[in-house]
Amino acid sequence: MDERLLKATLSLPFCVCNIMTWLLLFGAAIHLISLYYVRKLSNELPIGVNRKSWHLLGVLILFFIAGYLGFYLMKRGTHYSKPEMLVPLIFFFGAIFVLMVCFLAYRTTKELKRVVMLEHETLTDPLLGIFNRRCLDRRLHDEVLRSNRHNLSFSLLLIDVDYFKKVNDTWGHQIGDLVLRHLVEILEGTVRQTDIIARFGGEEFVILLPHTQETEAYKLAERLRRNVEHTPLMITVGEKLEELRITVSIGCSCLTTDDTPYDMLERADRALYQAKQTGRNKVVRCEGHETGCS
């Protein structure tokens, strides 16, 4: 009985040594898994400070792995004292902590990205990639409130593609979609970065012009009209390339005292109707702009 107890006592240090060794090796393996999530997370982030910070964390994890393996090599074949037994335990649970942080950060980033994409889809037109009517109503409401509160100038343009139904009937809806994309490209290339382009519905578009007086809005509308008129869309018909030229009619409205978003849109719509009724391919200012618009 004493001999068995002696053998068990002698084998205990070797058992402890094996446990400590496996804790170190498993800890290093867990850090390798953490590196996988660090790499995936950094790929989800845009180039910048945050991405560089996660790359730095990846480098630190590599140093941790080297420390684990270094401690393992240093203690290989030797016994662990009681204080030294704490080191593999701390290393192991530290590795689990790092893995959980990296995994949760990756999952959180994915979820935030999904939420942003869903929000983007609810606010943008799927065909053209610009703001949709829902977003337009919200932004117009905010801009009118802000401009009235701080006594700022504000204008908007209501744009309609001339004879768009004829384009669809003649060339088909696919060409009609190309025409709308072509128009949006011209609009985006002409307006300022602070201006807001939105699809109002069908072939109608609205451009919000913060800090813009009516005279400046009219000049911008004329520039837009000319750019559209003089920038044909090249389409393929059979084996030939043909020019498809379009024009737009534009109604220009500006903010007056105590205006509501509906008031501005209504005046712009009346101006657009007048432009279409008097020959199309023209810009018409809102009624009373000489005295009512700032």
**What positions carry a catalytic annotation?**
203
- Owner of token pair 């684990």: 68
Helix, strand, coil fractions of the chain, as percent rounded to 5? 65, 15, 20
Sequence length of the chain is 294
Q: How far apart are CA 257 and CA 147, in angstroms?
A: 10
Residues whose CB is less than 8 angstroms from the CB of residue 269 and which lie 6 or more positions away in sequence, other chains included: 158, 251
CB burial readout 160-194, b (16+ within 10 A) else e: bbbebeebbeebeeebbebbbebbbebbeebbeee
> For residue 204, what is the enclosing H or E element?
strand 204-210
3-state secondary structure of 84: helix
Distance CA 203, CA 183 (A): 10
Q: How far is the C-alpha of 152 from the C-alpha of 209, rounded, in Å?
A: 11
Measured CA to CA, the distance from residue 132 to residue 127 in angstroms comes to 10
Neighbours of 147 (CB within 10 A): 18
User: Taking Cα atoms as reference points, which of 75, 78, 83, 69 lies closest to residue 24?
Assistant: 69
Please answer whether residues 99 and 34 qualify as being in contact, where contact means their C-beta atoms are separated by less than 8 angstroms.
Answer: yes
Q: Which residues pair with 238 in a beta bridge?
A: none
